[in-house]
Structure 1
């Protein structure tokens, strides 16, 4: 089971919007990104094959993707902090297959300072 991380009081604002409602963008730092590449586990593949027969959620893959999303976002936020940003706007996710059984999860957005 995965436990959600609590955000500190000085957390960076993340939004898929082009700005932060009620706040003004006062500095623009540019593109920030974070990524991780994850491979499937052979045991999970076998269990997923059985689950395909009877139907239902593939919980092992759901957890794998949740962890990958969180890791890519954490890396993007770390890059934004290093630039001095307090927000990342227009956040997006992308995935791509990089090898048989392995995929990259990529998070990106625009680092800004808002007030």
Structure 2
């Protein structure tokens, strides 16, 4: 599966537009992370546990988007975007979305 943020894939031609695809996940904080985050807010610096949690959430959302594209028979996703929003004060949603397409290498 080719996944790009651009509108096209250099060296490939689009044979079919399979449609909109998306994947999402909602991640919540936990008490242990919140205590450490509170301490980091006092002294400053990166909150590594939250960084790791959000990286995992992004990968999960992208994986679900990829599965959605595969269900539609696509072999690539173009114009991919990632967004984050707060669901509650203790949870955030990550959504990955794009356009599923079927592509093949261009013939010279």
Structure 2 length normalisation: TM-score?
0.94
Please give the per-residue CA displacement for 1:18-66, whole angstroms capped at 9, x wherever unaligned. 0111110110011000000010111101101111111111000000000
Residue 36 of structure 1 pairs with residue 28 of structure 2 = no
User: When you count strand as a share of all residues, which structure comes out higher?
Assistant: 2
Instruction: Name 2:48's counterpart in structure 1.
Output: 59
Instruction: Name 1:99's counterpart in structure 2.
Output: 88
Q: Displacement of 1:100 after TM fit?
A: 2.0
Please give the per-residue CA displacement for 1:48-103, whole angstroms capped at 9, x wherever unaligned. 11111111110000000000000000000001011110100000011111122111
Structure 1 length normalisation: TM-score?
0.88
- When the two chains are superposed, the root-mean-square deviation of aligned CA atoms in Å is 0.7
Cα distance between partner residues in 1 of 2:43 and 2:12? 50
Cα distance between partner residues in 1 of 2:43 and 2:26? 29
Count, aligned residues:
104
Cα distance between partner residues in 2 of 1:106 and 1:25? 24
- Pick the aligned partner of 1:86 from 70, 75, 78: 75
